[in-house]
Chain A
Amino acid sequence: MSDRPSVVIGMSGGVDSSVAAALLVEQGYRVTGMMLRLWSQPGMEESNRCCTPDSMAQARRVAAILGIPFYAVDVQEKFRKTVVQSFIDGYSIGMTPNPCLICNRQIRWGHMLQQALAMGADYLATGHYARIQRDYQGNVQLLRAVDSGKDQSYVLSILTQEQLQHTLLPLGNLRKSEVRELARKFSLPVAERADSQDLCFLAGGDYRQFLAHYAGMPSSPGKIINRKGEILGEHQGLSGFTIGQRKGLQIAASEPYYVLEKDIAGNILVVGFKHELGRTSLKAGQLNWISGFVPTGNIRIQVKIRYRAEYCWGILHATDNDRAVVTLDHPLRDITPGQQAVFYDGDTVLGGGIILP
């Protein structure tokens, strides 16, 4: 046994995690590749973009090229019980959850990290684009990636100090173009999956049908009203709508209507015109602070309300009872309950929380 630090890398067969693995090997770590087998709708397993048989074969090939062991780990049951169930639960109370964050927290940095540590590894690594900075006391900070176009710090904002201390992100300082270049240098296959935003377990299917089937959510028709309380039409169930949605409202008007709010208790959909969409503050709960400490006072920050959203300036005020309010500089549309709000101080991720209604 050598005393070189050992690391388990989550591999997908894609160019990012493959290059990340190659870099770790080059840096002298003892590297083990691991791929998670996640749950898909029965019959759709072949098109789950996180773990198709094709991508597994590709990851195996990469591991063979790098001369590292590779294992597939089955987490289908756990994935279904945590990630899929929270997706269903979220929708049933009118939220629009982001299952990828749950997966990162519970599956990748839950099950896979536990597995890695149990195998005697020191670290878990992934091909995410974000940076981890360690200070002299061993505390870590999570930073945006150098390549702002690829930055994935948003989806890692739910990780705790302890999880991050056991994490390596070899791609954080690289641009995507450099990663492709490195893939050629290491003679790795440069397969690129479509950067789809669909949820992996839907495998290209429609989430409304999925919910109807798995959540057993009966379509319960209800009223569509505007802010003044005027009845404009009828909807076939609130789960089919998300904040800011325009399509599918079927209201005849000179100007398009947008979903403003979902009143779950009253089964009412509140709609309005585009100029009504913006809000000047947001409230978040289930907060995670990367440092482990709740920040005090009013802090000048940027906030991101979805993975692909723009950064918005605002002032963050956190309280001890797991609540944070961001007062935004400018009105912001599509603030969607259930999505993650992530707070940035410059490049540093302070933390984040679930947007509350």
Chain B
Amino acid sequence: MAGLSQRVYLDYAATTPVADRVLNAMLPFFNENFGNPSSVHGIGQYAEAALEAAREKTAKFLHARSEEVIFTGCGTESDNLAIRGVALAQRRSRGANHILVSPVEHHAVLHTVRQLSEYLGFEVEMLPVDGFGRVDPQDVKASIRPNTALVSVIYANNEIGTINPIRQIGEVCREAGVIFHTDAVQAAAHLAMNVQLDDVDLLSIGAHKFYGPKGVGALYVRRGVQLVPSQTGGGQEYNIRAGTQNMPYIVGLAEAFELAQTEIKLWASHFTKLRDHLIGRVLEEIPEARLTGHMVDRLPNHASFVFKGVEGNQLLMMLDAAGFACSSGSACKVGNPKPSEVLEAIGVLPAWNRGSLRVTLGHGTLPEHIDQLMQVLPVIIKDLRKLSVV
């Protein structure tokens, strides 16, 4: 059982370390430039300038206007604000009561629409997905109704890595005049974001997925889209998200987002090679193993598998004991494994769907880490299968 220092971290989809450049950009805003951007005085104005510079930078890499970026507390908050904010506004302005989402959304979206359905009477409809977890734009087109308040489809899924045809879905929604939100929390770390090309009306990101700090996110809101604020108070963030801005973290998000978006090509080709090497070895060397999600249309750093007759939590524990930090895709620390909704939605059979493993690569991943992992993984799977028949 390895100590912390000997661990190989292969869970970059869960979170990433803050990049040095990002940390250095943040530090002055804790004490030197500590002003409240809402203050009238010079110290406040200095902070405000930094806030607006961060907003502009974030907007630039989304291909949006500055005033279309709202800073939030995290990706989940962005999703909540988008879904709840649009649903309530749409119902009030034109009685729209119908929400279309995919079954492979993050819980930040799924549990929000569930609440809207259970407490506020919205009708939530699940779009079909194929065996890779992809939404077909034609299904979106066919499911849109006159009273559809909002369509929300995840850009790239956290559990299985599959990338959705966001541009085509955006086009369909734009034609029908329906508001389209996408949760790009995973995607923004690896794919070029462009809300203009993608015809997206709202888009959520969270900084800690791309080497920024935890506890800060942003929501792109296309000009003209009405939102009911989920947090009320002072007039910060264009009256949409009240509360004094978390300056160091907002600066960190902008810095990290710039870094991520400018270096996308560089990292993507590096990750893709490593990822495909890993996928090839797993499928070749481990019997009764399958890749989940799409083979090609998947995040470049993301490999996810299911192993028949293996319990995912046990697998993670054994890997951790052997020095590898991985995930099952659905974090569950209490050891109460329920089959993942995403795996059920893409039709993974019960004998398989408990044994999921997600390996996500990042800046710290070296080629030898993959080979080291492959030294232990087949053995552990074999042991666990023996164990489950005891």
Give chain A's interface residues, CB within 8 Å of chain B. 1, 6, 30, 32, 35, 37, 53, 56, 69, 71-74, 76, 110-111, 114-115, 118-120
Contacts and interface: CB of A to CB of B under 8 A. Distances in A.
A73 B336 contact: no
Contacts of B314: 73, 115
Contacts of B337: 74
Contacts of B384: 118
B334 A56 contact: yes
Contacts of A110: 390
Contacts of B387: 114-115, 118
A71 B1 contact: no
Contact of B1 (A6, A37, A72, A114): A6
A190 B168 CA distance: 59
Nearest to A35: B335
B317 A119 contact: yes
B41 interface: no
A32 B334 contact: no
Nearest to A76: B336
Contacts of A69: 1, 320-321
Nearest to B317: A71
A71 B336 CA distance: 11
B320 A73 contact: no
Contact of A73 (B2, B317, B321, B383): B317
Contacts, number: 50
B2 A1 contact: yes
Please classify how large the interface on chain B is, using the bins under 10, 10 to 19, 20 to 34, 35 or more: 10 to 19
Contacts of B79: none
B1 to A, nearest CB: 6
B254 interface: no
A32 B1 contact: yes
B168 to A, nearest CB: 41
B86 interface: no
A114 B390 contact: yes
Contacts of B321: 32, 69, 119-120
Interface string B369-386: 000000000000001101
A30 B2 CA distance: 9
B332 to A, nearest CB: 9
A74 B1 contact: no
A316 B390 CA distance: 34
Contacts of A114: 387, 390
Nearest to A72: B335
B22 interface: no
The CB with the most chain A CB atoms within 10 A, among B1, B311, B314, B386, is that of B1
A30 B1 contact: yes
B97 interface: no
Given A69-B1, A111-B390, A53 B335 contact: no
Nearest to A73: B335
Contact of A74 (B311, B318, B386, B390): B311
A118 B383 contact: yes
A118 B318 contact: yes
Given A69-B320, A74-B337, A111-B390, 10 more contacts: A6-B1, A69-B321, A72-B333, A72-B335, A73-B313, A73-B314, A73-B317, A74-B336, A114-B387, A114-B390
A119 B318 contact: yes
Contacts of A6: 1
Contacts of B320: 69, 71
Contacts of A73: 313-314, 317, 335
28 contacts: A1-B2, A32-B321, A35-B335, A37-B336, A69-B1, A69-B321, A71-B313, A71-B317, A71-B320, A71-B335, A72-B333, A72-B336, A73-B317, A74-B311, A74-B313, A74-B335, A74-B337, A76-B336, A110-B390, A111-B390, A115-B387, A118-B384, A118-B386, A118-B387, A119-B317, A119-B321, A120-B1, A120-B321
